[in-house]
Structure 1
């Protein structure tokens, strides 16, 4: 919300979404350029591997992996589907389907948050934690320089907070690009328009998400309920390598962490948040469509700040 820095709320069971600005909802889609499929990468044996011909049961027989919230979450500051604002990058349509993993039914009217860094690895609200530009993206610490020296007050290890989040950091600016919240429809589907994320030191390319249920949509936004899922979505190596050939991604000199090297992705394919991608072969710049079915337990509470982090997750990772 322009001019004000929203206060982070640790207790997400008593949360409220405030509609910002004019509240205009932009049309979603990247046009007819998205015509070819890309490999979704290797899947761990036994993991859920939904395809267009899969039954609903096949898509939801396992819960989607829970992950850390990370230090850069801002509680539902923008109620919108188009989160791009003026950020440059490859157009990305993110289409999520939220289902109850117990009965495989779609969950309607859930509030879904998404947030991610821009093409050069910067998070809105936290630009002061990095120098930005063509080669100085933030680390998971986050870092103020490519050498890893953290600025004052930045989390450097697990001592800053519980649950692998590295301790929540209060926003240092009122920018809110590449962040948004919207509700699922009667089929459990929600779609966001954004850009393909970039990368920064220590993490592979990813998008953060939260799913809130059992609350109420009002004229003011979304109130109450519980956060039943906190996770991250991941991109296969083929697509990331293709994006790295396109400006402004190609101007980054930050060393990239691969999907296999990442400390948050659990290598379980779709169950772990690996997106199914579709784009024009050899011309990813035209746009990408990313889809995934997210299996949740609507009665659970997973804020991503719990004391026990996912095995192998870095305590300071975002």
Structure 2
């Protein structure tokens, strides 16, 4: 298994994340059969456009450029590979996009949520997609809080424009298994709401495909973007 990129410690600028939801474009996710080939999406892949999801109240625009976003938070290690593809051009990989993710810890808390004096930034990070369109993060499996199901927030920026804001989910069965058995989640236990009861997820939430590895869970998701403008 290849090593994750080193943390370069740089801070992104808030202005790089051009505003909130407003002009966010639609997003697409590959069908389950296509997700298995996340790193090599081809013109034959089937993309399904779905609406963008709300940013939520806990977004911060100063996440660090880094792959390991754990900052010592306890929980089930999760390696998340998010591949960005162009839904309008046969799902070809999109290199050079900025992918930002953020989520709560095992106890349901977000970093920075206690006001301007809270400078912690655990479980937040930004990565640039490579030639294969992929950005990889080492994090922990998210916890939960009412009234939400287990989820991860993410944004995609391309050429200084925000093109996608959405949220990722995990199967209810996996949520029960991880949060019901790992000691870091013991205080809260398994979530009280499934995906279909979540007020944002809808009837067909975008699910991360997860498989077990030696020391962590490996998660994959392929997000297709509809580009706002084109040149050439």
TM range (shorter): 0.7 to 0.9
Counterpart residue number, 1:256: 192
Counterpart residue number, 2:92: 105
Q: Larger Rg: 1 or 2?
A: 1
Note if contact 1:64-1:294 (Cα within 8 Å) is conserved in structure 2: no
CA drift of 1:267 comes to 2.6
CA drift of 1:265 comes to 1.1
Counterpart residue number, 1:116: 103
State the SS of the aligned residue for 1:241: helix
Distance in structure 2 (CA, Å) of the matches to 1:180 and 1:53 = 24
Distance in structure 2 (CA, Å) of the matches to 1:123 and 1:267 = 26
State the SS of the aligned residue for 1:194: strand
Which structure shows the higher strand fraction? 2
Counterpart residue number, 1:48: 31
Counterpart residue number, 2:8: none
Indicate which of 292, 295, 313 corresponds to 2:221: 292
CA drift of 1:64 comes to 4.6
Counterpart residue number, 1:207: 152
Note if contact 1:63-1:294 (Cα within 8 Å) is conserved in structure 2: no
Q: Normalising by structure 2, report the TM-score.
A: 0.79
Does 1 or 2 have the higher relative contact order (CA < 8 Å, sep 6+)?
1
- Any stretches of 5+ residues in structure 1 without a counterpart? 1-5, 14-46, 129-169, 215-224, 301-318
Count of aligned pairs between the two proteins = 203
Q: RMSD value over aligned CA atoms?
A: 2.6
Counterpart residue number, 1:195: 140
Superimposed CA distance per residue, residues 110-141 of structure 1 (whole angstroms, 9 cap, x where no aligned partner): 01000000011000011x4xxxxxxxxxxxxx
Distance in structure 1 (CA, Å) of the matches to 2:171 and 2:222 = 16
Distance in structure 2 (CA, Å) of the matches to 1:260 and 1:252 = 20
CA drift of 1:251 comes to 1.5
Q: 1:226 and 1:195, CA in 2 relative to 1: closer, same or farther beyond 3 A?
A: same
